[in-house]
Amino acid sequence: MKRILVSGGAGFIGSHLCMRLIDEGHYVICLDNLFTGSMRNISSLIESERFEFVNHDVTLPYHTEVDEIYNLACPASPIHYQYDAIKTIKTSVLGAMNMLGLALRQNAKILQASTSEIYGDPIIHPQPESYWGNVNPIGFRSCYDEGKRCAETLFMDYYRQNHVRIKIIRIFNTYGPRMLPDDGRVVSNLIVQALQNNDITIYGTGGQTRSFQYIDDLIEGMIRMMNTGDDFIGPVNIGNPHEFSILELAEKVIKLTHSQSNIVFKPLPHDDPKQRKPDITLAMEKLNWKPTVELDEGLVHMIDFFKNNL
């Protein structure tokens, strides 16, 4: 049994990770300030003797004894990370420093949940880990994009300078149960609008593409990455390489929900990427990992979740 800390553990991804780690027999400390996380997400774990919830902001130091750390703390949807841009970049940068400091003191292995947003609006397609990205450093999304890029820098410098055992993954668009219905991300937006028979909002022409990964596939990739030897640190892309246009996604959602919604088009937000698709060659080679849940199957699970929780 390992003693594992998950920062951002009450969030969408974090809560699924906590459950998986508990199921594997570990003791889990869930660290979260509940800005976008929710006690409801971890309600089934509260009574477990191997689970501990700590209401704490990662911009402040935290001390405990741990074997492993998953650093997930940071709002991930544009609505939430733009709400307080300065707080967002502090969470990414100071949070990374505090978690790395804890890992250094405890000689713990630490995984950084980075993001495909570090590639910005890519001019290479699909995106391999060797691509440095095309990011606007002064835009509306920069607090998140550049915060995550700086966090990767910190992880690499703690590795090179202090020999901290690090892992870096870059998470591509992920969806599934426990996403917030009002978080502004495309899959949850479209499903909620369709279930309520409201107009379905498409930004731009709908021709921009994304690759959508179901939450269970992501969690499997994260754990496999954490369990690799110290010689492989990443970064490694974790995402589904099957590419869909936003318009295709909207049409799938309407069909699966039997919605009467109409599609309406609105202007594209600032710095919205035109394409996003992971090259997962490295994940397949190093982690023996690839996604197994196709979009139609995952959407059915998520639609059922929102039907019961809206």
pLDDT tens digits along 110-148:
999 999 999 999 999 999 999 999 999 999 999 999 999
Counting Cβ atoms within 10 Å, is residue 150 exposed (0-12), middle (13-18) or buried (19+)?
middle
pLDDT of residue 244: 92
The CA distances from residue 113 to 25, 155, 219, in Å, are: 22, 11, 11
- Active-site option among 27, 119, 144, 214: 144
pLDDT of residue 107: 97
Lowest mean pLDDT among 21-25, 41-45, 208-212: 208-212
Is residue 290's pLDDT more than 90? yes
Fold classification of 3-176+212-240+277-291 is Rossmann fold (3.40.50)
Is residue 272's pLDDT more than 80? no
- Report the DSSP beta bridge partners of residue 210: 244
- Report the DSSP beta bridge partners of residue 113: 169
Based on the residue annotation, tell me whether 144 is a catalytic residue of this protein: yes
pLDDT of residue 71: 98
CB neighbours of 192 closer than 8 A, spacing ≥ 6? 181, 182, 306, 310
pLDDT average, residue stretch 50-66: 97
Q: SS3 for the chain, per residue? A: CCEEEEECCCCHHHHHHHHHHHHCCCEEEEEECCCCCCHHHHCCCCCCCCEEEEECCCCCCCCCCCCEEEECCCCCCHHHHCCCHHHHHHHHHHHHHHHHHHHHHHCCEEEEEEEHHHHECCCCCCECCCCCCECCCCCCCHHHHHHHHHHHHHHHHHHHHHCCCEEEEEECCEECCCCCCCCCCHHHHHHHHHHCCCCEEEECCCCCEEECEEHHHHHHHHHHHHCCCCCCCCCEEECCCCEEEHHHHHHHHHHHHCCCCCEEEECCCCCCCCCCCECCHHHHHHHCCCCCCCHHHHHHHHHHHHHHHC
pLDDT average, residue stretch 8-22: 98
What confidence tens digit (pLDDT) does each residue in 74-116 have? Answer: 988 778 888 899 999 999 999 999 999 999 999 999 999 999 9
pLDDT of residue 108: 98
Is residue 271's pLDDT more than 70? no
* Radius of gyration, alpha carbons of the chain: 19
Is residue 267's pLDDT more than 90? no
- Report the DSSP beta bridge partners of residue 263: 200
pLDDT of residue 52: 98
Is residue 3's pLDDT more than 80? yes
Percentage of the chain surpassing pLDDT 70?
Answer: 100
Of 82, 77, 81, 74, which is closest to residue 99 (Cα–Cα)? Answer: 74
Q: Round to whole Å and give the CA distance between 289 and 221.
A: 6
Domain boundaries, the chain: 3-176+212-240+277-291
Structure-token pair, residue 277: 């698709």
Which residue carries 């990992």 as its tokens? 289
Q: Round to whole Å and give the CA distance between 83 and 140.
A: 10
CB neighbours of 232 closer than 8 A, spacing ≥ 6? 286
More confident residue, 208 or 24: 24
Which residue carries 């650093």 as its tokens? 71
Of 273, 276, 272, 268, which is closest to residue 211 (Cα–Cα)? Answer: 276
Mean pLDDT score across all residues of the chain: 94
pLDDT average, residue stretch 148-176: 97
pLDDT average, residue stretch 243-250: 93
More confident residue, 184 or 12: 12
Cis peptide before 126 (omega within 30 of 0): yes
Q: Round to whole Å and give the CA distance between 17 and 26.
A: 12
Residue pair 192/28 in contact (Cβ under 8 Å)? The answer is: no
Of the CA atoms within 13 Å of residue 229, those in its CB half-sphere come to 2
Confidence of residue 10 (pLDDT cuts 50, 70, 90): very high
